[in-house]
Amino acid sequence: MGREILPHERDLRIWLRRRVRDAADVEDVVQECYCRFAQLADPSQVTNPRAYLFTMAANLVKRQWRHARIVPIEAAVDSAAAQWESELPSPERIVAARQELGRVQAALATLSERARRIFLLRRIEGLSQKEIARVLGVTETIVENEASRSLRTLVRLLTDEPAAIPGNARTAHARSR
């Protein structure tokens, strides 16, 4: 066995150093090549030991690369959990979102009952103007006018200072000053 591949070991190590990052991996591949060559029933059957040795080493390196790219399922689950946790909003963002929701609810409360229902059916439920008109028993023109008026009112209220919304907690505080 040694006679067939030992003369090529130096060249194999040089070749492997250019393809493998870690010196320990070079040693592992060389040892694995020796083990596999030793397992051959009749090593003398190999007509070109150098080509056989380098082909075997190349296949082992490819296998190492494939295994290095495979992430164990536990690591993937841990990574996904960490990413999910990092995507959770911070307490500050939760408070800000609740305050903004309160502003939206207060702005919606300024609309008439019909205007509020039309707005919610259109923007939240996603119904068409025709469907809303049928549900409420009004004409499509009324739905169109109420929806556009409501939207303008809400945009104005939500883009102005928070104190501009009637019924807002900040409004009462601002008026008391």
Instruction: Please report whether residue 105 resides in a domain.
Output: yes
CB hemisphere CA count around 164 (13 angstroms): 10
pLDDT band, residue 165 (cuts 50/70/90): low
Q: Are residues 46 and 109 in the same domain?
A: no
Burial class (CB within 10 angstroms; exposed 0-12, middle 13-18, buried 19+) of 122: buried
Instruction: Please report whether residue 76 resides in a domain.
Output: no
Q: Are residues 54 and 105 in the same domain?
A: no
Instruction: Please report whether residue 24 resides in a domain.
Output: yes
Q: What share of the chain is helix, strand, coil (3-state, %, to 5)?
A: 80, 0, 20
> What is the domain range of residue 29?
2-69
More confident residue, 142 or 20: 142
pLDDT given at position 168 = 54
**CB 144, CB 119: distance < 8 Å:** no
Q: Are residues 167 and 101 in the same domain?
A: yes
Q: Are residues 52 and 102 in the same domain?
A: no
Q: Are residues 64 and 103 in the same domain?
A: no
Hey, what are 37's tokens? 């060559």
Instruction: Please report whether residue 47 resides in a domain.
Output: yes
How many domains are contained in the chain?
A: 2
* N- to C-terminal Cα separation, the chain: 97
Looking up tokens 């903004």 gives 100
Q: What is the pTM of this model?
A: 0.43
Q: What angle do CA 78, 75, 22 make, to 5 degrees?
A: 145
Q: Are residues 42 and 113 in the same domain?
A: no
Query: Which CATH number does the domain housing residue 132 bear?
Result: 1.10.10.10
More confident residue, 132 or 26: 132
